[in-house]
Amino acid sequence: MAVSSAANPEADDEAGEGQWPKPTTAWYATTILTLAFILAFIDRQIIALLIGPIQDDLGISDTQVSLLGGFAFVFFYTFLGIPIGRIVDRSNRKRLIVVGVFLWSCMTVACGFARNFFQLFFARVGVGVGEATLSPAALSMLSDYFPPKRLGFAVSIYLSGAAIGTGLAFLLGGAALEFFEAASLAGIPLLEDLKAWQLAFVVVGAPGVIFALLVTTIVEPRRRSKLVTSPVQQREGLPLAEAIRFLLDRKKFYLFHFAGFGLYLAFTYGLSFWAIEYFVRTFGVERSQIAYIYGAQVILLGGSGTLLSGYLSDYFERRGWKDAKLRVALWPMLPMMLLAFWIPFIQSYVVAIGTIMVMTFCWKFPLAPAAAALQIATPNEVRGLATGLYLFVGNTLGLAVGPAVIGVFSDYVVGDPNAIKWSIGLAGLTLLPLSLLSVFLCRRFFNQALMIPTYRSGTA
C-alpha cells in the first residue's frame, strides 16, 4: 500500500468549502445531537443527586455508591467505545445513535425499579452500553458537517450539552425528588411502591425513549478528510491493522492527549459527582436547596465555558495559531489545580459556592478544543476508533477512577465521611499536575499528527 505526500488539511478545507453541507442542515443536526447529549448527561449524572437517599434505602458505603456512579456506568461504556468506534468508521452513524438513545433511556427507567445494589449496578451498566454509541458517532458526523476552522465552535455547542445535562440533572432531579417525597402515588400501577429516588430515575429516563425518533430526522453527512482515495477501499473501509498502524505512528500525540485530558476528567468528574455531598456534609445545607444552586451554575458557567473555548480556539486558529485548540485547552488547568488545593481550607458556605462556580467554568473549558483537535488531527477512517480510544481512557479515568478516588480517600485515607473536602483536595493534588504536564507535552506533537498520508492503492 503506497503512501502519497502529506496532505494539507487547511488546503483541503479551503478547496472544499463550497461543498460542505448547507448551514441549516449542519446546525439542525448539531441541535439534535446536542439535545441527545443533554439527555445522556441527565441520565448519567442524576445519581450524583441521589447518593444520600440511595445509601439510606440500600445501606451502601461511599465506595459502593462511587462504583454505581463510576465503574458500573463506565465498565461497558468505555470497553464498547473502541468496537463502536470501528462501527462508526464503517457504517451509518445516525442509526447507531438512534439505537443508543433508546437503549440508555430504557435502562435509566430500569434504575428506578432496582431494589438492591446489584440490580442498580447492572441497570447502570445498561445506561453505559447505550451512551457508548453517541459521542464517537456524533463527533465524527460534526467533522463532516463543518470545516476545520469552524469545527471548534460546533463541537463546543455539542459538548455544552454536558454542562446543560449535568445542571438539569440536579434541577429536574431535585424538583422530582422534592415532589415525590411529598406526593402519594397510591393506586398507580408499577409506581405506587417506588421511593422518591426511584421515581426520579423514571421521570428523567422516560423522555429519551420518544426522543430517539427525532434523531431519525437528521441527515447522514458525506464523509470527508479521507485517508483512502481508492473507491474500492473507501467502500470496504480501512483495515484494522492499518488504522492501528496510523495511530501508532503518531503515538506520542495520542498518548499525551488521552492521558492529559483523561486525568483532567478524572478530577473534574469526581468533583462533580461528590459536589452535592461536599455541601451537605461540610455546611449542612438541604440537598434540594444546593441541587438547584449547583445545577443552575453548571448550566450557566459550564455551558458558557464550553462555548467560549470553542469560539476562541477557532478564532485563534484563523489568526494563525496552528495549535490553537490545544493552547486554549491549557488555559484553565493551572487555575483549576490551585482551586483544588484551596477547597479543604474554605470555611464559608458563600466562598465555597464562589469557588465551585469558578471551578465549573474551568472544568468545561478545555473539552471542546480537546475534542476538536483530535478530530482535526485524525482522518475520517480512523476518527471513530481514535474517539473511542479517547473516550475509553477519558471515561475510565473520569467516570470510574475520579469518583472512586475521592470515595476511597474518604473511606480509607481521611477516614471521616464528613471531611469529604480533604478527599477532594487530595484527588486534585494527585491528578491535576500530571494532567497539566501531559497536555503541555501533547502540543509538541500536534503538527506531526496533522501530516496525514493518503493511501491510493487498489484504485478501481
- Domain regions of the chain by residue span: 9-450
Residue 163 · residue 150 · CB < 8 Å: no
Q: Which residue has the cell 451554575?
A: 297
- The one-digit pLDDT tens for each residue of the chain (460 residues) are 433 333 344 444 444 445 888 999 999 999 999 999 999 989 888 887 888 888 888 888 887 887 887 777 777 777 777 888 888 888 899 999 999 999 999 999 999 898 888 899 989 988 988 888 898 999 999 999 998 888 999 999 999 998 898 888 888 877 887 777 777 666 666 676 788 888 888 888 999 989 999 999 999 998 887 665 555 444 445 788 888 888 888 899 999 999 999 999 999 989 988 998 999 999 999 887 888 888 889 889 988 999 999 999 999 988 888 889 999 999 999 999 999 999 999 999 999 999 999 999 999 899 999 999 998 888 878 888 888 889 888 878 887 788 889 989 998 999 888 889 999 999 999 999 999 999 999 988 887 777 655 544 433 3
Cell of 293: 444552586
Which residue in this structure is represented by grid cell 460542505? 20
CA distance 163 to 361: 10
Q: Cell 465506595, residue?
A: 63
DSSP state of 116: S
Neighbouring CB atoms inside 10 A of 355's CB total 16
What is the rounded distance in angstroms from the CA atom of residue 449 to the CA atom of residue 460?
A: 29
H helices present in 8-133, as ranges = 9-15, 23-49, 51-58, 62-69, 71-79, 81-90, 93-111, 117-131
pTM for this one? 0.76
- E strand spans, 144-290: none
Amino acid symbol at 199: L
Paired with 452 in beta bridges are 7
pLDDT for the residue 83 = 87
Take residue 31 and report the three cell numbers written for it. 441541535
* Helix, strand, coil in percent for the chain, rounding step 5: 80, 0, 20
The type of residue at 171 is L
Q: Are 78 and 395 in contact (CB under 8 A)?
A: yes
CA distance 136 to 141: 9
On whether the CB atoms of residues 103 and 152 are closer than 8 A, the answer is no
CA distances from 246 to 83, 138, 250, 323 (A): 17, 22, 7, 20
Helix, strand, or coil (residue 414): helix
Beta bridge partners of 455: 3, 228
- Provide the β-strand partners of residue 364: none
Q: Vertex 405, ends 293 and 55: CA angle to 5°?
A: 60
* Residues 6+ away with beta carbon under 8 Å from 182: none
Calpha distance 121→123 (Å, rounded):
6
- Residue 322 backbone dihedrals phi, psi, to 5 degrees: -65, -30
Cβ atoms of 383 and 405 within 8 Å: the answer is: no
How high is the pLDDT of residue 452? 59
Distance from C-alpha of 57 to C-alpha of 35, rounded to nearest angstrom: 32
State how far the Cα of 382 lies from the Cα of 385, in Å rounded to an integer. Answer: 5
| CATH class of segment(s) 9-450 | mainly alpha
